[in-house]
Every structure is written in structure tokens, then in C-alpha cells.
Amino acid sequence: MHRIVLLRHGESAWNRENRFTGWTDVDLSEKGLEEAGKAGEVLRKEGFVFDLAYTSVLKRAIRTLWIALDRMDLMCDPRGELLAPETSATTARSRA
């Protein structure tokens, strides 16, 4: 079964100030960093594993993805393809 998970970015500095951000590239606040980490922890505990991730080009969305994936012990390459820890280890060994 295929599933799609939508995750909104964590709180930004402007969200905290109740300002509309639109396409302005505002970074995450401290609370937003914590929210992104908690999202990753929940996804990990629920057993989610992803093959691919898409995000907006704005830093608050990219950083939310990176933090959530880190808490899940996952990582994505610049193309958005996810690398599981065992995949990364296999790639490193094959280059040696």
C-alpha cells in the first residue's frame, strides 16, 4: 500500500509574530525546530519509512524535512531520494 504524508513546516519567526510570510524565506523559530523534531519522532514511532521526499525551496520547509528525517534515522540526497542507514553504509563500503 502506498501512503502520502503531508507535513507542514514548523513555526517560523514570522508565524510567532503573526506576520504573513508568503514566499519570504523566513527560517524556523526555536519552537519550530522542536516541532520538526517531534514530528520525526512521531513518524518513527508509527513505523513510517519513506522512499522519496518533496519539499518547497524555502529554508523553513527544507529544515523541517531534514530535522524530521534525522529523528527517523533517515537522510535524503540533493535529488530528494531517501537514504536508509544501511543504504548509506553499503554505498560507503563500495567506494573504499
pTM over 0.95: no
Cell 519567526 sits on residue:
13
Q: What is the pLDDT of residues 26-70, one digit of tens each?
A: 999 999 999 999 999 999 999 998 878 888 999 999 999 999 999
Judge contact between 82 and 48, C-beta under 8 A.
Answer: no
Distances (CA, A) of 71 to 1, 79, 94: 24, 20, 26
Helix 30-45 to helix 59-71 angle (10° resolution) is 40
Q: Which of 3, 65, 60, 63 is nearest to 40 (CA)?
A: 65
